Structure 1
Amino acid sequence: MARRGPAVMIAAVVVGLSSPMMLPATAQSPAPAPHDQEVERVVIGPATGDQLHVMTFNLRFASVTEPNSWARRRPVMAELLDREQPTVLATQEGVYPQLRELARDLPRGYDWIGAGRDGGSRGEFMAVFYDTARLEPVAYDHFWLSDTPALAGSRTWGNRIPRMVTWVRFLDRRTGAEFVVVNTHLDDRSANARLLAARLLRTRITAFGEDLPVLLTGDFNVAAGASDVYALLTEELTDTWTAAGRRGPVFATWHGYRPLRPGGERIDWILARGPVEVAAVAVNTFARHGQFPSDHLPVQALVSLG
């Protein structure tokens, strides 16, 4: 562990947005032209009032391969996060030295919780960063997506590498409400491993109790709306993308440093179990001089706990 460094309905309402919010008041906005990726804009920005700004972001591990090495991507990542300042930043694929650098790059007042998927500080993390002025962690744990979920590094479902979950129960200092963030990264090759992982996730989320709001974040490695995994999870949770009163344009959330694909597959999701109200969602296409911070685009949601 490293630190420091029946279905529930979600109300889709338009509530007071953070002032920098650039999404339209209704429906889904058209996809921007490619040059718009570098427009000086904030997609959601710091949350105001009782709202929470939640971001899920596959960071891409600290590769040294050019032209998209972590050294090149890091300043772009830092700029994006400084603009957006999510209340909760749920990450995937980060490795320990990379996460320590990210923690230094974030605005002051963030902390994080995570563990390496190979145990201790080894392997990729599902690290959860949070705004300490707003949120206090009251419990957390990690489990592995296998038949032996308490065993670090375990894999038994056909996945070639360990897959895991980090969850954190937070107290909202502003409202007194508690909620849980459950953060994961499902396997990219084995459909069986993904489906069994979804079943275990449902079981664990149910165990939190039906009155506790839950936000499930992650890279699910399969398109929203087009898989058994999505169907299984959305029996008990709601996709914030479809529930939101305001939405930005849809892009494939994995781009592999190639041109963005409007209308492409969303494999990075934020799902919610109520009572949660979803004001807005967006896929953030920020790049600087053609350099993206990752091979994924972050997905952001502005929510209120009921």
Structure 2
Amino acid sequence: MLSVMSFNLRYASTAEPNSWAARRPAMAQLLLTELPAVLGTQEGLYGQLLDIAHDLPDHYDWIGLGRAGGSHDEFMAVFFDTLRVQPLEFDHRWLSATPNVVGSTSWGNRVIRMVTWIRFADRATGTQFVVVNTHFDHESENARVRSAEYVRDLVSGLTLPVVLTGDFNAAAGASQTYSILTGGLADSWLAGRQTTPAYGTFHGYGPLVPNGPRIDWILTRGVTVESAAINTYRRDGQYPSDHLPVQALLRF
């Protein structure tokens, strides 16, 4: 089994009461409890990602690039357990009409959006698979649709099993974005045994919404989803982020 998590980290704000300093202990405890083999993250800033890397066991590593290039702006960083998986190749693309141009935007999004992908080998089985991690725009419907089409085409060109993680800023089952991507990929929440109640995955540090919009997904192709979960962990009342992490247990 391979455990996968997708988690919008909420960038490292200093604004209280949910500053990164206040949230970091809760984040560390959550990740140390779950220890996913692969963790697709969104919104992390460079220093914040270094903190997470420090808080995880030494056998974890990560790959990512700031969406404005180098260490600048937010990352689509992927953390992984090096005892379980080995990265074989990776790359970054920008969600625009010029995907190879760092920091490019062209579909109506004011914020730079990108996708990071990594080809892994599973040390337990020898199976190779590709993790694709992304964060779609929160304002422009056109940008989300075009981004979904781009990711769909990217994935369709891959012959290996695929795990797509991300914050899609679109409701599962009720958006064109979801329809485009689930044309060739399975929603892990629906494909596997649900081990937790359903909640809206963005809570903004407020009350959770049962059966609310799921905007954070793990989609798959070529794997069996054993189970899926939406994690509601808090530490002393403090959520690690303004999103809930989503998880899936996969079998090749």
- TM-score clears 0.5: yes
C-alpha deviation, 1:108, in angstroms: 2.4
Match of 1:169 among 119, 140, 152: 119
Distance in structure 2 (CA, Å) of the matches to 1:63 and 1:245? 35
| Equivalence for 2:145 | 195
Q: Does 1:272 align with 2:195?
A: no
Whether the aligned pair in 2 keeps the contact of 1:111 and 1:130 (CA below 8 Å) is yes
Q: CA deviation at 1:113?
A: 0.2
- Amino acid of the residue matched to residue 284 of structure 1? N
| 1:168-247 correspondence runs (5 A) | 168-209=118-159, 212-247=160-195
Larger Rg: 1 or 2?
1
Task: State how far apart, in whole Å, the 2-side matches of 1:173 and 1:277 are.
Answer: 18
> Is residue 86 from structure 1 mapped to residue 33 from structure 2 by the alignment?
no
2:26 aligned residue: 76
Aligned counterparts of 1:83 and 1:291: Cα–Cα separation in 2: 16
| Residues 193-238 of structure 1, C-alpha deviations (whole Å, 9 max, x = no match) | 00000000011111112xx100010000011000001011101101
Task: Report the AA paired with residue 109 of structure 2.
Answer: N
Residue 40 of structure 1 corresponds to none
1:44-83 pair list within 5 angstroms: 51-83=1-33
Q: Distance in 2 between matches of 1:55 and 1:190?
A: 26
Determine if contact 1:241/1:247 at 8 Å carries over to the other structure. Answer: no
Between the two proteins, the alignment pairs up a number of residues equal to 252
Name the aligned partner's letter for residue 219 of structure 1.
D
Alignment-derived partner of residue 16 in structure 1: none
**Structure 2 alignment gaps of length 5 or more:** none
| Matched residue, 1:119 | 69
Contact 1:157 1:193 (8 Å CA) reproduced: yes
Give the SS at the match of 1:279: strand
Point out 4+ residue stretches in structure 1 off by more than 4 angstroms. Answer: none
C-alpha deviation, 1:174, in angstroms? 1.1
Structure of greater relative contact order (alpha carbons < 8 Å, 6+ residues apart): 1
Distance in 2 between residues matched to 1:240 and 1:140, nearest whole Å: 23
Q: Could you tell me how far apart the structure 2 residues matched to 1:203 and 1:253 are?
A: 26
2:234 corresponds, among 287, 295, 300, to: 287
**Partners of 1:245 and 1:123 in 2: CA distance:** 36
Give the TM-score taking structure 2 as reference length.
Answer: 0.99
TM-score (norm 1): 0.82
Deviation at 1:256, TM superposition (A): 0.2
2:199 to 251, 270, 274: 251
